[in-house]
Amino acid sequence: MHSAQLTWTWRGNTIDLGFDTSGQGPTVLLLPALSSISTRREMWPLQQRLSSHYRTISIDWPGFGDQARPAIDWTPAAYAAFLEYIFEAVAPCPHAVIAAGHAATYALAHVCTRPGSFGRLVLLAPTWRGPLPTMMNGRRPFFKRLCKLVDLPVLGFLLYKLNVNRVVVRFMAAGHVYADPAWLSDERQREKLAVARARGSRFVSIRFVTGELDPVETREQFLALARQAAIQMLMIHGDQTPPRSRAEMEALATIDGVRSVCITRGKLSVYEEFAAQVALVIAPFLACDP
């Protein structure tokens, strides 16, 4: 695995991001989920299994990752622009994109507006709605006020810190992210906490949680992207996916052209926890003839 760094500029802000490459062959771009504990490292187990046949690239999203992050009012437009940059400067016309969580919907939206920008698409436990809107079945006016509150220099930092302590992170991970609570060992938990506590992490994290980074606003729009995308698609999710998120994935599975596979175990990070099983499903899809 070769690690490097790139610098991307968004509206006058310079953002440093990490990315990793491994293997030789057709390019496969791996995009991690957007969440408070996500980095490109969650794609490593899958990346290592695919790099024997492909040149794999895993990359952090702006505002996420393991580096310090600028205080920016992050929006879906920033992430759409970042994908444009990646497909121009880092991974032009890749053989495939493998995208998890919200990244899957952003990749879908990109290929709808830029047909032919990549060859095929793997959607890993795809989501389009943030945690709070999912729990409350829609957005609420106070979500924006909550973002402004967390943005405050001192009070916002303290409020955010209270919600990324060891107990809360373990509870949320066990409830929604990992099927086996023991998988989040002490070492892994320290790594996840370090991501959530990185300098500037609260600005993007609160916007993800409140749905401010949702690439679409309704299930109908989410499904419309899949109908419009002229590309081969494979969706993979775990059998223990939380019910509300699973309902969105099962709705996506009904769309013509979407191949769907349910792994017998796994929640929202099924590709990280059960990378071997997921890789076995992905391999023939990547290798099949157009």
| Residue 220 belongs to a domain | yes
Task: Provide the token pair at 34.
Answer: 């957007």
Task: Provide the token pair at 84.
Answer: 């444009």
pLDDT tens per residue across span 183-211: 888 888 888 888 888 888 999 999 999 99
pLDDT tens per residue across span 268-289: 999 999 999 999 999 999 997 6
What gap in Å lies between CA 9 and CA 42, rounded to an integer? 25
Least confident span in 3-12, 85-94, 216-225: 3-12
Q: What is the CATH classification number for the domain harbouring 26?
A: 3.40.50.1820
**Residue 176: what pLDDT?**
84
For the chain, how many structural domains are there in total? 1
pTM of the model: 0.95
* pLDDT range class, residue 154, cuts 50, 70, 90: confident
**Residue 136: what pLDDT?**
83
In this structure, the strands spanning 2-10 and 13-22 are antiparallel
| Residue 199 belongs to a domain | no
What gap in Å lies between CA 113 and CA 2, rounded to an integer? 31
| Residue 15 belongs to a domain | yes
| Residue 17 belongs to a domain | yes
| Residue 210 belongs to a domain | no
With a pLDDT cut of 90, the percent of the chain lying above it is 71
| Residue 28 belongs to a domain | yes
Taking 80 as the threshold, does the pLDDT of residue 232 lie above it?
A: yes
| Residue 148 belongs to a domain | no
Task: Provide the token pair at 46.
Answer: 């899958």
Instruction: Report the chain's mean pLDDT, rounded to a whole number.
Output: 92
What are the distances in angstroms from CA 19 to CA 31, 41, 56? 10, 9, 10
Residue 55 sits in which domain range? 2-129+215-287
* pLDDT range class, residue 7, cuts 50, 70, 90: very high
| Residue 175 belongs to a domain | no
Taking 90 as the threshold, does the pLDDT of residue 166 lie above it?
A: no
